[in-house]
Amino acid sequence: MHVKFDLNGRPVASDVEPRTTLADCIRNDFGQTGTHLACEHGVCGACTVLVNGEAVRSCLMLAVQVQGDKVVTVEGLSGDELTPLQAAFRKHHALQCGFCTPGFITTAHALLSHEPDADEERIRDVLSGNLCRCTGYVPIVEAVLEARESYRGSGSK
Amino acid sequence: MKSFNSYIGRPMERVEDLRMVRGRGTYVADVNRPNQLYAVILRSSVAHGIIRSIDSSEALALPGVHRVLTAKDFGTKVPVIPLRLQPLPQLESFHQPVLADKKVRYVGEPVAVVIADSAAIAEDALERIALDIEPLPAIASRSQAEAKRAVLFEEHGSNVAITWSAFRGNADEAFKMADYVRRETFKVQRHAAMFMEPRGFVAEWDEVAGKLTVWGAAKTAWHNRRTLAAQLGLALETVDLIEVDVGGGFGSRGEFYPEDYLIPAAARIVGRPVKWTEDRREHIMSANHARDIECDVEFAVSRDGRFIGLRGQIWADIGAYIRTNGSVGPRNVAQFMSGPYCIEHIDLKSSMLTTNKTPCGTYRGPGRYETDFIRERMIDLVAQDLKIDRVELRRRNLVADAQMPYPLASITPYDSSTELDSGDYHAVFDRCLREFGWDERSKLRGQLIDGYYHGLAIGSFIEGGAAGPKEEARLVLETDGALSVYIGSSSVGQGLETIMAQIAADAMEMSYDKITIRHGSTSYVKDGYGAYHSRSTVMGGSAILLAAEKLKDLIRKTAAARLGCTAEQIVIDGEQAGFGGEHLAFAGLSDEPLEVEAEFFNKKYTWAYGTQAAHVAVDPGTGHVKVVDFISVEDVGRMINPLTLHGQAIGSIVQGLGGAFLEHLVYDDEGQLLTGSFADYLMPTASDFPNIRSITVELKPCPNNPLGAKGAGEGGLIPVGGVMANAVADALSHLNVQPMELPLSPPRIWQLVERAEAARSAT
Confidence of residue B131 (pLDDT cuts 50, 70, 90): very high
Q: Does residue B224 carry a pLDDT above 50? A: yes
Residue B686 to residue A102, Cβ atoms within 8 A: no
Domain stop point among A76, A105, A139: A76
With b for 16 or more beta-carbon neighbours within 10 A and e for fewer, the B684-710 pattern comes to bbbbbbeebbbbbbebbbbebbebbbb
Tell me the residues of chain A between 34 and 53 that have a Cβ less than 8 Å away from chain B.
34-41, 43-44, 46
Q: How many residues appear in chain B?
A: 763
Which residue, among A37, A47, A97, would best test binding to B if mutated, counting the most B CBs under 10 Å from its CB?
A97
HEC string of B695-723 equals EEECCCCCCCCCCCCCCCCCHHHCCHHHH
Mean pLDDT, rounded, for B687-713: 94
Q: How far apart are CA A45 and CA A131, in angstroms?
A: 7
- Looking at the fold, whether A65 and A111 belong to one and the same domain comes out as no
Closest CA to A103 of A39, A151, A155, A9: A39
Closest CA to B612 of B732, B695, B699: B695
Residue A136 to residue B17, Cβ atoms within 8 A: no
Q: Give the H/E segment covering residue B730.
A: helix B720-731
Q: Does residue B229 carry a pLDDT above 80? A: yes
* A152 in reach of chain B (CB within 8 A): no
Q: Taking all residues of chain B, what is their mean pLDDT, rounded to a whole number?
A: 96
Nearest to B17 among A89, A128, A140 (CB): A89
Q: Does residue B693 carry a pLDDT above 50? A: yes
Q: How far apart are CA B418 and CA B408, in angstroms?
A: 6
* B687 in reach of chain A (CB within 8 A): yes
Nearest to A41 among B197, B247, B677 (CB): B677
* B29 in reach of chain A (CB within 8 A): yes
Closest-CA distance of chain A to residue B102, Å: 32
For the stretch B408-424, pLDDT in tens is 999 999 999 999 999 99
Answer whether B187's CB lies under 8 Å from B741's CB. yes
Q: How far apart are CA B110 and CA B69, in angstroms?
A: 11
Sequential DSSP letters for B665-694: --B-TT--B---STTTS----TTT----EE
Mean pLDDT, rounded, for A72-84: 95
CATH code for residues B423-454+606-763? 3.30.365.10
- Looking at the fold, whether A72 and A90 belong to one and the same domain comes out as no
Domain stop point among A18, A50, A76: A76
- Looking at the fold, whether A105 and A68 belong to one and the same domain comes out as no
* B197 in reach of chain A (CB within 8 A): yes
What's the confidence (pLDDT) of residue B261? Answer: 98
What CATH number does the domain containing A106 carry?
A: 1.10.150.120
- Residues 6 or more apart whose CB falls under 8 angstroms from that of A134 comprise A95, A96, A97, A100, B196, B248, B493, B647, B651
Strand-pairing partners, residue B611, are B460, B633
- Domains B137-192+289-420 and B423-454+606-763 alike in fold: yes
* B713 in reach of chain A (CB within 8 A): no
What CATH number does the domain containing A62 carry?
A: 3.10.20.30
- Looking at the fold, whether A7 and A70 belong to one and the same domain comes out as yes
Q: Give the H/E segment covering residue B173.
A: helix B171-177
* A128 in reach of chain B (CB within 8 A): yes
Quick one: how far is CA B156 from the chain centroid? 29
Mean pLDDT, rounded, for B383-406: 97
Answer whether A41's CB lies under 8 Å from B280's CB. yes
Confidence of residue B763 (pLDDT cuts 50, 70, 90): confident
Nearest to B687 among A95, A98, A124 (CB): A124
Topology classification of domain B17-25+467-601: Aldehyde Oxidoreductase; domain 4 (3.30.365)
Least confident of B151-160, B325-334, B669-678, B705-714: B705-714
Confidence of residue B492 (pLDDT cuts 50, 70, 90): confident
Residue A90 to residue B14, Cβ atoms within 8 A: yes
Domain stop point among A76, A101, A130: A76
Q: How far apart are CA A148 and CA A137, in angstroms?
A: 17
Residue at A156 is within a domain: no
Q: Which residue of A has its CA nearest to B656?
A: A136
Answer whether A99's CB lies under 8 Å from A131's CB. no
Rounded to 10°, the helix B642-661/B720-731 angle is 50
% of chain B residues with pLDDT over 70 = 99
Residue at A141 is within a domain: yes
* A127 in reach of chain B (CB within 8 A): yes
Q: Which residue of B has its CA nearest to A34?
A: B23
What's the confidence (pLDDT) of residue B2? Answer: 53
Q: Does residue B668 carry a pLDDT above 60? A: yes
Domain range holding A64?
2-76
- Residues 6 or more apart whose CB falls under 8 angstroms from that of B743 comprise B189, B191, B659, B660, B661, B662, B663, B664
* B88 in reach of chain A (CB within 8 A): no
Confidence of residue A157 (pLDDT cuts 50, 70, 90): very low
Total domain count, chain A: 2
Q: How far apart are CA B299 and CA B181, in angstroms?
A: 6
- Looking at the fold, whether A6 and A71 belong to one and the same domain comes out as yes
Tell me the residues of chain B between 500 and 539 that have a Cβ less than 8 Å away from chain A.
none
* A114 in reach of chain B (CB within 8 A): no
Q: How far apart are CA B65 and CA B117, in angstroms?
A: 6
CATH code for residues B137-192+289-420? 3.30.365.10
Residue at A28 is within a domain: yes
Residue B197 to residue A97, Cβ atoms within 8 A: yes
Topology classification of domain B31-136+194-286: Aldehyde Oxidoreductase; domain 3 (3.90.1170)
Closest-CA distance of chain A to residue B285, Å: 13
With b for 16 or more beta-carbon neighbours within 10 A and e for fewer, the A95-107 pattern comes to bbbbbbbbbbbbb
What's the confidence (pLDDT) of residue B1? Answer: 45
- Residues 6 or more apart whose CB falls under 8 angstroms from that of B558 comprise B577, B589, B590, B594
Confidence of residue B3 (pLDDT cuts 50, 70, 90): low
Mean pLDDT, rounded, for B170-194: 97
Confidence of residue A156 (pLDDT cuts 50, 70, 90): very low
Q: Chain B partners of A47 at a C-beta cutoff of 8 Å?
A: none
* A29 in reach of chain B (CB within 8 A): no
Q: Chain A partners of B30 at a C-beta cutoff of 8 Å?
A: 27, 33
What's the confidence (pLDDT) of residue B684? Answer: 98
Sequential DSSP letters for B557-612: HHHHHHHTS-GGG-EEETTEEEETTEEEESTTS-SS-EEEEEEEE--S-EEEEEEE
Residue B643 to residue A95, Cβ atoms within 8 A: no
Which residue, among A106, A138, A140, A141, would best test binding to B if mutated, counting the most B CBs under 10 Å from its CB?
A138
Nearest to A86 among B16, B21, B644 (CB): B21
- Looking at the fold, whether A91 and A115 belong to one and the same domain comes out as yes
Tell me the residues of chain A between 60 and 99 that have a Cβ less than 8 Å away from chain B.
73-75, 77-78, 82, 86, 89-91, 93, 95-99
For the stretch B28-68, pLDDT in tens is 999 999 999 999 999 999 999 999 999 999 999 999 999 99
Nearest to B651 among A99, A120, A135 (CB): A135
Q: Which comes out higher in pLDDT, residue B761 or B276?
A: B276
Phi/psi for B726 (5° steps) reads -65, -35
Q: Does residue A117 carry a pLDDT above 70? A: yes
What's the confidence (pLDDT) of residue B494? Answer: 85
For the stretch B320-366, pLDDT in tens is 999 999 999 999 999 999 999 999 999 999 999 999 999 999 999 99
Closest-CA distance of chain B to residue A102, Å: 6
Q: Chain B partners of A91 at a C-beta cutoff of 8 Å?
A: 13
The alpha-helical segments, DSSP class H, found in B33-154 are: 57-60, 119-127, 142-146
Q: Would you list the domain boundaries of chain B? A: 17-25+467-601, 31-136+194-286, 137-192+289-420, 423-454+606-763
Residue B182 has a CB neighbour count (10 Å cut-off) of 17
Compute the radius of gyration of chain A from its Cα atoms. 15
Q: How far apart are CA B326 and CA B71, in angstroms?
A: 24
With b for 16 or more beta-carbon neighbours within 10 A and e for fewer, the B553-587 pattern comes to ebbbebbbeebebebeebebeebbbbbeeeebebe
Residue at A17 is within a domain: yes
Rounded to 10°, the helix B496-508/B541-563 angle is 40
Q: How far apart are CA B93 and CA B75, in angstroms?
A: 19
Which 3 state secondary structure label does DSSP give B449? strand
Nearest to B685 among A75, A90, A131 (CB): A131
- Looking at the fold, whether A136 and A115 belong to one and the same domain comes out as yes
Answer whether B411's CB lies under 8 Å from B335's CB. yes
Q: Do β-strands B625-635 and B693-697 pair in parallel, antiparallel, or remain unpaired?
A: parallel
Q: Chain B partners of A32 at a C-beta cutoff of 8 Å?
A: 23
Nearest to B686 among A34, A82, A127 (CB): A127
Residue A122 has a CB neighbour count (10 Å cut-off) of 12
* A156 in reach of chain B (CB within 8 A): no
Q: Do β-strands B37-43 and B49-55 pair in parallel, antiparallel, or remain unpaired?
A: unpaired
- Looking at the fold, whether A53 and A108 belong to one and the same domain comes out as no
Residue at A157 is within a domain: no
Beta strands in B355-413 (DSSP E): 406-407, 410-412
- Taking the alpha carbons at both ends of chain B, their separation in whole angstroms is 82
